[in-house]
Amino acid sequence: MKTIPLTRPYMGAEEKRLISEVVDSGWLTQGPAVTEFEKKVAAYVGVRHAVAASSCTTALAVALECLGVGPGDEVIVPSYSFIATANVIQHRGARPVFVDINLDTYNIDEEKIEEAITPRTRLIMPVHQVGLPAHMTRINRIARDHGVMVIEDAACAIGSEYEGRKIGTHTRCACFSFHPRKVITTGEGGMIVTDDDELADRARSLISHGASVDEEAKHKAEGLVIVHYPDFGYNYRLSNVQGAMGVAQMDRIDWLLERRRSLAAVYDRAFGDHPRLVIPYVPEYARPTYQSYMLRIRDADAEERNRILSRLKSLGVQCTPGICAIHKEPYYAQEYGQVCLPCTEKAFDTTMIIPLYPHMSEDDQSYVIEQVLSVL
């Protein structure tokens, strides 16, 4: 019996060659490969600055600090997200305020944001779930009306488009992930993208211990450089080895996205007419990445969904439940008590993610389709 993995990051000859060059150079810490990676991401997205970090989580944490989010502040977020979305807020001493999702898009329901705003609201942080952009025009309008900021948890969304523009160009800043399940990968890694010069400069410093000079500038300087640490920073740097991998991945990002969209279209045709399956919805304003392919099972509960997942795994199809409902996780349930988010909870109980990765073969995808249909 064959086994189809949930995901398999693409690693080609160019990634291996660039990584080998970096290793041979001996420059393994933050360096020129990271700088080149940042430049490629900034140019691709269409912003002035891209600042690499060790993960999307650390990128978000630094972005929140740069924007002054701290104790007593509230940040509006969807609960239907990976738990890091709320954790970075909680670590700042601020309070995540959970808002329900739109069950069609799995993104924050912009119609419910306004009722969650209080005098303590500092920020709205939408999540572009599995690479489908949230409705940024409406979210930005609400934020302007109430005098609050917007940044984007765009972990899954590098390469996605909202109203014809790349995600990362619609707000003060956005943060991407390069985890192995994402569109491109550096193993682990993240990136802040922004047109804000001051935010970019401070983020770059905070990511590298609060240093006054970054590693590459220090090494390239002809004379002695004395580094000072005027800010209280972190070691959130991306390594030069990871940067080299990112450079090669960015060179083929268009192909990686095309393959994901093509594979998703095959799944759409296979499952679109099934009476018990809801395929991903794509509104006219969005062009998603299909970082994952998520199905919802009609008229199911968590117990039935889990039985389906177990059966598929026994047939060699690696799959997983959909996304966290953060407000139901033990820490947040204890911290903030009962929160009623019916669409989030329905999605949490009835969604499943099935295999999709760029070099998935036609035979392997056909096998996944066959097994999903047979189990249902």
The residues assigned a catalytic role are 182
Closest alpha carbon to 141 in 116, 176, 111: 111
Cα–Cα dist 156/140, whole Å: 20
Cα–Cα dist 33/52, whole Å: 11
Cα–Cα dist 80/132, whole Å: 13
Q: How far is CA 163 from CA 47, 132, 160, 316, 370, in A?
A: 16, 12, 10, 39, 35
Phi first, then psi, for residue 106 (nearest 5°) are: 65, 10
Q: Which amino acid is at 58?
A: T
Checking 114-117 for CB contacts under 8 A at 24+ apart, the result is 114/142, 114/146, 116/76, 117/76, 117/142, 117/146, 117/148
Q: How far is CA 138 from CA 100, 115, 151, 202, in A?
A: 16, 14, 14, 29
Taken as a whole, the chain contains a residue count of: 376
DSSP 158-189: TT-EETTEETTSSSSEEEEE--TTSSS--SS-
- Note the helical H segments in 318-361: 330-336, 342-350
Tokens of 159: 């390469």
